[in-house]
């Protein structure tokens, strides 16, 4: 997401610099991804690039906030993290539906599994906390 956000903010005006960076510093797989990303974003309108940069940046900040909240043991962090992971499922359904591939199906299944697992765990913890509170009173 950081790569997408950065490239979108820089726009097509820095295509040569980004290509030189990819040639100099990135591994082959990362180079191929960066080349694909730059090639596709060069033909994209600047307003769309700015919107993509804003959305990926906000999503990244929310993920970071949830991660820090989880690390600090905040009660709001787990449902936020579940919501953020689940928010990508509609996009993955769209991808699997329109351009199916074994890899996309696998990642979709993993993401659904993670959301279900985390949701069940969170609900179980809520029930345990409620039962403990009732037992104390």
Decide: residue 69, CB within 10 A, 0-12 exposed, 13-18 middle, 19+ buried: middle
How many domains does the chain divide into? 2
Instruction: Indicate if 97 and 58 belong to the same structural domain.
Output: no
Sequence-separated (6 or more) residues with CB below 8 Å from residue 67? 77, 81
* Mean pLDDT score across all residues of the chain: 80
Task: Domain of residue 50: give its range.
Answer: 1-72
Is 14 inside a domain boundary?
yes
Sequence-separated (6 or more) residues with CB below 8 Å from residue 87? 59
Give pLDDT, residue 22.
60
pLDDT, tens digit, for every residue of 48-71? 878 888 888 899 899 999 999 999
pLDDT, tens digit, for every residue of 11-54? 556 666 666 666 665 555 455 666 777 777 777 787 887 888 88
Point out the domain boundary residue: 23, 42, 72: 72
């Amino acid at each position: 997401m950081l790569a997408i956000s950065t490239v979108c903010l820089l726009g097509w005006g820095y295509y040569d610099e980004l290509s030189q960076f990819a040639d100099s510093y990135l591994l082959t797989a990362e180079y191929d991804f960066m080349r694909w990303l730059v090639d596709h974003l060069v033909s994209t309108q600047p307003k769309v690039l700015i919107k993509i940069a804003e959305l990926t940046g906000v999503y990244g900040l929310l993920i970071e906030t949830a991660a820090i909240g989880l690390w600090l043991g905040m009660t709001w962090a787990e449902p936020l993290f579940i919501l953020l992971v689940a928010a990508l499922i509609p996009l993955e359904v769209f991808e699997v539906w329109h351009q199916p591939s074994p890899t996309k199906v696998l990642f979709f299944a993993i993401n659904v599994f993670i959301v279900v697992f985390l949701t069940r765990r969170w609900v179980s913890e809520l029930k345990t906390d409620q039962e403990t509170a009732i037992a104390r009173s």
